Amino acid sequence: MASSKWFFVIVGTLGLSVLTGCGAIFINEGSKEYSRVDGLQNPDENKPKLTIPPEQCVISDFQNSSTNVNAKLFGASGGTWMAFSFGGNTVNNPFLVEGGANGDKMAAHIFGNLTDKGDSSYPAFTLQCQFNQSGLYDASNFNGIKFYYKCPSKDQALKRRFCLGTAPTLPASAGGNCSTNCFDHFGAVLNPSEDWVVYNLKFTDLAREGWGAPVTPPDLVDHLKEFINLTWNNSANNTAGTYAIDFWVDDVEFF
């Protein structure tokens, strides 16, 4: 019996060695590389990106005064722009006005007075782009997003943030699959500026604030096929008072 026992140990060890030699990878479930189980490489890993014509990278330049997303945007269908708030606050309408970046005719301009009651409802003035009428948007052929932003000194927001809404960070009511502590999106802080400033944000540069439910895998690059919307949010970050809000966005595109 002893010799039989050692036989199985040796065979088992050799089996693991053979598997290792064949490229089998043993990965903990939930890790970033989990899709590479059973020795099969993630089909999306190192997949060459398509070369997208420049006109199909543009999300919107607002030059036709339309709230529709660029009809030529690669992979999109029926997307729209909107501006909104809540908690008794009202955003200006129309929000597409004259005075764009780089001498352009039109841009999105969000302004008004925001009242925050400090009651943990976190109202904001929001400009939002929904990529599709419904469903997810696949941005895996792009590396990041570029836009022009202006936020003059009259803006009194205590928090300014650009965000990418994805399925893991949005609830089912917004097309996502987040069930608790939602809306902690991948994004970046925006700075006030009297003149137009261009933001070139790689997807690898965008991060969550950290208060929301965990996302698995944790990096945005693992969720590029699960985009739902873009948002620009100016708020008082739950500090009671009334604040003047004033910001502009123009020439939004992927790169």
> If we measure between CA atoms, which residue out of 208, 186, 197 comes closest to residue 247?
197
Q: Judge whether residue 200 has pLDDT over 70.
A: yes
Confidence (pLDDT) at 72: 98
* pLDDT mean over 183-187: 98
In tens, the pLDDT along 96-149 reads 999 999 999 999 999 999 999 999 999 999 999 999 999 999 999 999 999 999
Instruction: Identify the weakest region by mean pLDDT among 23-27, 62-66, 228-232, 234-238.
Output: 23-27
Structure tokens at 99: 């005075």
The residue type found at 11 is V
Structure tokens at 83: 């501006």
* pLDDT mean over 21-35: 37
In tens, the pLDDT along 166-179 reads 999 999 999 999 99
Structure tokens at 71: 């009809």
Q: Which CATH superfamily is domain 50-254 in?
A: Galactose-binding lectin (2.60.120.430)
Confidence (pLDDT) at 6: 38
* Cis status of the peptide bond prior to 94, with omega within 30 of 0: yes
In tens, the pLDDT along 71-84 reads 999 999 999 999 99
Per-domain boundaries in the chain: 1-47, 50-254
- The secondary element (H helix, E strand) that includes residue 60 is strand 58-60
Q: How far is CA 35 from CA 141, 192, 252, in A?
A: 19, 41, 32
Percent of the chain with pLDDT over 70: 82
pTM (two decimals): 0.82
Q: What average pLDDT is seen over the chain?
A: 87
Question: 184: how many CB neighbours lie within 10 A of its CB?
Answer: 18
